[in-house]
Structure 1
Amino acid sequence: MHSFKRVLVTGADGFIGSHLTETLVRAGYNVRAFVYYNSFNSWGWLDQSPEEIKRELDVFAGDIRDPHGVRSAMQGCDAVLHLASLIAIPYSYHSPDTYVDTNIKGTLNVLQAAKELGVAKIVHTSTSEVYGTAQYVPIDERHPLQGQSPYSASKIGADQMALAFYRSFGLPVGIIRPFNTYGPRQSARAVIPTIITQLAQGNRKIKLGAIHPTRDFNYVEDTVEGFISFLESSRSIGEEINIGSNFEISIGDTARLIARLMNVELEIETDEIRLRPEKSEVERLWADNRKARELLNWQPAYGGEKGFEAGLAKTIEWFSNPDNLLNYKANLYNI
């Protein structure tokens, strides 16, 4: 038996949200999936879920920026996994206003409704981007926060709002902080799908932004297990907890590793449009995941170099399927 009668997942139509939603349903949870309303009646990535998953879902189409819709979606739910947010860093230079509305105000809507409805657990999703460039490694949860992009600043604001509701009202909320998640269905604006889709379409000279920064990549199954462990742990309320592999690799080395796994020669071309402004580029991310091990009993199944290769192989296999590749415009820069 699970601890919660009904769980709401916001952002269920997205990359991580869809994997999380499917895993929760398979594990026997009663799930309400909050998807972004659109006139196409699209459920995002959930449209591609197996029929037996879709039959079990209670889908709510709405907008996280609308407090009344958020409150309606949360009626009858005793736990919320809040993933809905705008996440593209380049687009946040372009339209920062939407990031404040979606990420900060959207989170406030979830917190207010949870407080009014007496929800038993809220898991708020943060990001490793709130740390900015590592001042020391590995990065633990006490590392200073640095808003190096409007996206990062909006997530810091959202995280602090969640903690404020915990401290001010005793709201049972905790903050999960995944480092760079990758895997099937990820948007082509993220670096691993950018590399794989270009190579899968036959390009051997691929366009990337800066290749010297390092990242701590996490296969999506590990991130999903982190969310479920966070939800079920009695020790996660009021906490900020990193979900990371504790393995650091540069973008350039990642590209070369993918090329090796795909058995192709690779030439990297720097595309100016993909470069972040100098002070905005996060140069180094490397997660300390001890707190997740201690409080959540979570550890990555795809950790270290061997685990990264295994996760990349699964990701390459998915993106190399022509039916999946059709969803991507690999020849365009996706902001």
Structure 2
Amino acid sequence: MSHILVTGGSGFIGSALVKALVREGHKVRVLDDNSRGAPRRLAEVADHIEFISGDIRDAEAVTKAMKGVDEVHHLAFVNGTEYFYSAPELVLDVGVKGMINVIDTCRSEGVGRLILASSSEVYQTPPVVPTDESAPLLVPDPTNPRYSYGGGKIISELMALNYGRKFFERVLIFRPHNVYGPDMGWEHVVPQFARRVKDVADQHPAGTLPFEMQGNGLQTRSFCHVDDLVAGVLVMRDHGEHLGIYHVGTREEITIAELATRIAAHGGREIELIEKPAPAGGTERRCPDIGKLARLGYEPKVTLAQGLGPTVDWYWANEHLAPPQH
């Protein structure tokens, strides 16, 4: 069993990974400042992990967290499309300084194994759908703040691969594709739609719900339940090759309009879509080719039909945890 540091371990994906690593018997330490993570996500394993409160941009905090570990899973980053537009400088500050600190400290502390969480945003508008790991990485317009996130992840991948080639025994990169599940945060499409459906339903107790949407709703995504994402990461950890990049997701592609329709239907309502202008820089289609990871033994098990309802229910039951809506 390994002694593993998970940065960003109280985040949505990080906490799910921490719990899975604990179940496998590993000794786990978490570094997070809880600026976007939440201690409640780790409550069930709180007695089985070591938690260090600190900012990934603080080199001293990273050094303290890495003492004595033999493997690092680096997930600390600012996610959520809202933040890409509203705080791109913060997204890049956390992303780039954090990655530099992780690389430098792994080297100074003699940690030879690194797993990096990247993103499907690194290839933005793919030339082929489903998209495999060979798609070119792209920042289509550096003046668009949206690409602060994808740009930060591209830098992180380049650093992991190029330092990994010289200074690490094993580096693995996974690219999650539209991961969802209960308590995933509030800045993503599933929780945003869940809140909006409930708010509009409260205003319109009967009849069809007028539902505003950015764009025409024909954009597609392939939503991956967090349990499948974690299973994919563990398969990669066990069987992936040094300097390997792996797409983790599902092959089940759905339009955003259909997603909204399903969320409303879960509450027993129908919606009428009202098209609003969409911000520049969105991706029309996204669906991963997961063949590379499937060949190592990965197979997603939770369909959207199975996973969406419990996720929406969590948001409807936990509105008191939500930040104020703008």
Using structure 1 for the length normalisation, give the TM-score.
0.87
TM superposition shift of 1:130: 0.9
- Whole-angstrom distance in 2 between the partners of 1:31 and 1:78: 11
Deviations 1:149-197 (A, max 9, x none): 2211111111111111112334521111110101101122100111112
**1:260 has 2:261 as partner:** no
Q: Hey, what does 1:220 align to over in structure 2?
A: 226
* Structure 1 range deviating more: 202-211 or 113-122: 202-211
- Whole-angstrom distance in 2 between the partners of 1:37 and 1:259: 32
Whether the 8 Å CA contact 1:130–1:156 is kept in 2: the answer is yes
Q: Hey, what does 1:152 align to over in structure 2?
A: 150
Which runs of no fewer than 5 residues in structure 2 stay unpaired? 141-146, 203-208
- Whole-angstrom distance in 1 between the partners of 2:309 and 2:151: 33
Whether the 8 Å CA contact 2:190–2:312 is kept in 1: the answer is no
Which residue identity is paired with 1:73?
A
TM superposition shift of 1:37: 5.9
Which runs of no fewer than 5 residues in structure 1 stay unpaired? none
Indicate how the Cα distance of structure 1 residues 276 and 45 shifts in structure 2: closer, same or farther if over 3 A, else same: same
Which residue identity is paired with 2:269?
V
1:326 counterpart SS class:
helix
**1:17 has 2:19 as partner:** no
1:64 counterpart SS class:
coil
Q: Percent identity?
A: 32
- Whole-angstrom distance in 2 between the partners of 1:187 and 1:209: 20
Indicate how the Cα distance of structure 1 residues 196 and 236 shifts in structure 2: closer, same or farther if over 3 A, else same: farther
TM superposition shift of 1:271: 4.6
Q: Hey, what does 1:81 align to over in structure 2?
A: 73
- Whole-angstrom distance in 2 between the partners of 1:292 and 1:240: 9
- Whole-angstrom distance in 1 between the partners of 2:187 and 2:61: 29
* Structure 1 range deviating more: 15-24 or 102-111: 15-24
TM superposition shift of 1:100: 2.2
Map 1:1-335 onto structure 2 (within 5 A). 2=1, 4=2, 6-36=3-33, 44-50=37-43, 52-148=44-140, 149-201=147-199, 202-203=201-202, 204-210=209-215, 211-233=217-239, 235-272=240-277, 275-277=278-280, 280-295=281-296, 297-302=297-302, 307-321=303-317, 324-329=318-323, 332-333=325-326
- Whole-angstrom distance in 1 between the partners of 2:22 and 2:73: 14
Whether the 8 Å CA contact 1:9–1:34 is kept in 2: the answer is yes
* Structure 1 range deviating more: 100-109 or 202-211: 202-211
Using structure 2 for the length normalisation, give the TM-score.
0.89
- Whole-angstrom distance in 1 between the partners of 2:259 and 2:221: 9
Which residue identity is paired with 1:230?
M
Deviations 1:80-112 (A, max 9, x none): 111100123342233332222211221121112
Corresponding residue pairs, total:
312
2:322 counterpart SS class:
coil
Indicate how the Cα distance of structure 1 residues 161 and 53 shifts in structure 2: closer, same or farther if over 3 A, else same: same
- Whole-angstrom distance in 1 between the partners of 2:233 and 2:46: 21
Indicate how the Cα distance of structure 1 residues 44 and 95 shifts in structure 2: closer, same or farther if over 3 A, else same: closer
Which residue identity is paired with 1:317?
D
Deviations 1:51-86 (A, max 9, x none): x51111200011111122112101111111111001
Which residue identity is paired with 2:320?
L
Whether the 8 Å CA contact 2:70–2:113 is kept in 1: the answer is yes
RMSD: 2.0
